[in-house]
Amino acid sequence: MQKIQKEREELIEMFGLHFELLYNLPPLGSRILGLLIIDGCKSGLTFEAIVEKMKASKSSVSTNLNLLLKMDKITYYTVAGDRKKYFKPSPFSERLANYIKLLEFEKKIIDRLIDYREKTVSCSEEQYNMENVKAYKNHVCEVEELLIKTIDHFKEIEKNNS
């Protein structure tokens, strides 16, 4: 049993380090997200349970929960007759949908750059740059297609398991 507890703690720490780098989250917020993925995926965790498990102050946990909610990394629900909130990680489909927004904006920037470059190209370096940008746009479009398929697959799984 102690081996499983150690593995759980290591996983939460790994998630924490990953989310710090990936989302530029503070260490506590990253570890809270890891905790919710490990322990909160069934019925969620209350604020009090998170404070206890993270061994952090109420204000620090509250600040980080609000940040994670604002970033759509977590969600919560309430139960009738119970004043507590139960926090859970957002479904994979929702978390991945944020990447689609980033890709859509990146494609707009790329299209504007290509349009600008086509009007102003004046040397071989700019022509070479435009070819690179067009190749990069193809890559972004391929990533977007794959991500959309993955999101659709996760939505199907989430629908079947609700």
CB 137 within 8 A of CB 107: yes
∠ CA 48-69-71, rounded to 5°: 145
Domain boundary among 64, 90, 116: 90
Q: Say what the pLDDT of residue 134 is.
A: 95
Q: How many helices (H) and strands (E) does the chain have?
A: 6, 3
Range of the domain at 71: 2-90
Domain boundary among 90, 108, 132: 90
Q: Say what the pLDDT of residue 99 is.
A: 87
DSSP 25: -
Q: How many Cβ atoms sit within 10 Å of the Cβ of residue 11?
A: 14
Helix, strand, or coil here: 83?
Answer: strand
Q: How many Cβ atoms sit within 10 Å of the Cβ of residue 89?
A: 22
DSSP letters along 112-152, please? HHHHHHHHH--SHHHHHHHHHHHHHHHHHHHHHHHHHHHHH
Residues 127, 105 share a domain? yes
Give pLDDT tens digits for 57-77: 999 999 999 999 999 999 999
Residues 39, 71 share a domain? yes
Which residues, other chains included, contact 110 with Cβ-Cβ below 8 Å and sequence gap of 6+?
A: 133, 136, 137, 140
Residues 99, 78 share a domain? no
Q: Say what the pLDDT of residue 161 is.
A: 84
Residues 97, 86 share a domain? no
Q: Say what the pLDDT of residue 64 is.
A: 98
Residues 9, 82 share a domain? yes
The CATH code of the domain that includes 10 is 1.10.10.10
Helix, strand, or coil here: 13?
Answer: helix
Residues 82, 23 share a domain? yes
Residues 83, 109 share a domain? no
Helix, strand, or coil here: 79?
Answer: strand
Residues 63, 10 share a domain? yes
Residues 154, 137 share a domain? yes
Domain boundary among 49, 70, 90: 90
Q: Average pLDDT per run of 10 along the chain, which is 162 residues long?
A: 91 95 94 93 92 96 97 93 93 87 94 93 91 96 96 93 79
Q: Say what the pLDDT of residue 92 is.
A: 86
DSSP 103: H
Residues 105, 42 share a domain? no
The two structure tokens encoding residue 139: 């890559």
Domains in the chain: how many in total? 2
Residues 109, 43 share a domain? no
Residues 99, 68 share a domain? no
